[in-house]
Amino acid sequence: MQPKILFEDNHLLVVVKPQGIPVQKAESSNDDFQSILKDYLKKKYMKPGNVFLGIVHRLDQPVGGVMVFAKTSKAASRLSEQIRQNIWKKCYLAVVDGVPDQKSGILEDYLVKNEATNEVYVSKKENPKAKFARLSYETLETSGNRSLLKITLETGRAHQIRVQLSSRGFPIVNDHKYNKNAKLGSNIALWAYSLEIEHPVTKEKLVFSEEMPENMGLR
């Protein structure tokens, strides 16, 4: 695989993650995205030995789109701190089954992850394992009984967008975990469209985006 590079310097590697590939595997492998990118850097710069490439955020395996990796430990630390301070701005596009009653809105929930099944569900605030989740959405287009939504994440919980939309009767098209009508062999209609960060060294604001692939289920 030849990765699509959106930006690269001595500190950052910004790429488009393909759908269906895990960001990282627990065991040594060469078919996860981090390993593919490490191999790209190793060959490009003819580096001997192991190549450092820090993961500072993740996308679910079925989801594709813009991702940022750190090429140094200092960059990784500073980017992680930006995430903790909520400096990053993440925007997604999703095609859902159904048409929301309100064209735009804010969704707030408390989510719990079942580690055994790798599934997330909406819970009560009182649950000690529950984590607060918040996003805003805007309906960009509708076609039949499907809608294209622009989603801005304000928290970064596991499966957050997928669970929050599904819990309100608007599951993402071809989400095999949270949409009972998902078609086998089809990609989930969720895409990491844009990402705004602060450069870990220069402090410059950087915005990266990649258009959603065609034929993701709106029509």
Q: What is the DSSP string of 29-72?
A: -SSSHHHHHHHHHHHHTT--S----EE-S---TT-EEEEEEESS
Whether pLDDT at 23 is above 90: yes
Establish if 145 belongs to a structural domain: yes
For residue 216, being part of any structural domain is answered with no
pLDDT at 216 over 90: no
Give domain status of residue 55, yes or no. Answer: yes
Instruction: Please check the confidence at residue 218 and state whether its pLDDT lies above 80.
Output: no
- Note the pLDDT of residue 30: 55
- Chain-wide mean pLDDT for the chain? 93
Portion of the chain with pLDDT greater than 70, in percent? 96
**Nearest-CA neighbor of 111 among 171, 160, 58?**
160
**Residue 169 in this model has a pLDDT that exceeds 90:** yes
Measured in residues, the chain has a length of 219
Report whether pLDDT(49) > 90.
Answer: no
- Is residue 218 assigned to a domain? no
Q: What angle do CA 52, 55, 60 make, to 5 degrees?
A: 140
Quick one: pLDDT at residue 27?
Answer: 57
Distances, alpha carbon 140 to alpha carbons 65, 71, 134, in Å: 19, 36, 20
**Domain boundaries, position 65:** 4-209
**Residue 26: predicted pLDDT:** 63
CATH number at residue 84: 3.30.2350.10
- More confident of the two residues 26 and 67: 67
On whether residue 219 sits in a domain, the answer given is no
Q: pLDDT tier at 150 (50, 70, 90 boundaries)?
A: very high
Residues 162/136, Cβ–Cβ less than 8 Å: no
In the numeric block, which tokens belong to residue 218?
A: 């709106």
For residue 219, what pLDDT band results from cuts at 50, 70 and 90?
A: low
CA distance 63 to 22: 9
Encoded tokens for 24: 């990282």
For the residues 59-80, what does the mean pLDDT come to? 96
In a domain? residue 214: no
Q: What is the pLDDT of residues 189-211, one digit of tens each?
A: 999 999 999 999 999 999 999 99
Is the C-alpha dihedral spanning 39, 42, 48, 49 positive or negative? negative
* Residue 186: pLDDT over 90: no
User: What total of structural domains would you count in the chain?
Assistant: 1
Residues noted as catalytic: 60
The pLDDT, as a whole number, for residue 201 is 97
Q: Name the DSSP letter for residue 11.
A: S
**69: in domain:** yes
Asked whether residue 20 is assigned to any structural domain, the reply reads: yes
Using DSSP, how many helices (H) and how many strands (E) does the chain show? 3, 11
